[in-house]
Amino acid sequence: MAYGRKISGGKYHKQKKKKKDNLAGIERKVKLREEKKKTLKTRGGNHKTILLSTEYANVLDPITKKAKKVKIKTVVETPSNRFFARQNVLLKSAIIQTELGKARITNRPSQEGMIQAVLIKE
């Protein structure tokens, strides 16, 4: 029998309609450029600030437990996709070269509006 049909030839019907909150969101890639943010409306009348591009990160030094806002020089490596490093795309677990040294991004910048990173021992 054809896909989506009963043995008698009748159609199977969907259990429920697709709602807007079930749709996939837009994939946003945060680039290493002059800072640019956007505010989105979310469920419940709330707002979410997303990051489109930036050139600064909040870097935590694990030894002194102090955080500092530093400039990002370049993206060294992205474990999820090696081509993102060439394009200077900032995402979670990417290794970036900063003024303090190499750091790993620990948050999701495309959803949180800033970049948090931790220094890596070299």
CA distance 118 to 101: 10
Give the helix ranges, DSSP H, for 6-114. Answer: 82-86, 109-112
CA distance 55 to 41: 25
11 is a domain residue = no
Average per-residue pLDDT for the chain: 91
29-45: average pLDDT: 92
72-97: average pLDDT: 94
We report the CATH number of the domain holding residue 87 as 3.10.290.70
97 is a domain residue = yes
Q: How many domains does the chain have?
A: 1
Domain ranges, residue 64: 30-119
Output the pTM of the full model: 0.77
The residue ranking higher by pLDDT, 115 or 4, is 115
Task: Using pLDDT thresholds of 50, 70 and 90, give the confidence band for residue 25.
Answer: confident
Residue with tokens 């200077």, as numbered in its chain: 88
CA distance 67 to 108: 18
68-97: average pLDDT: 95
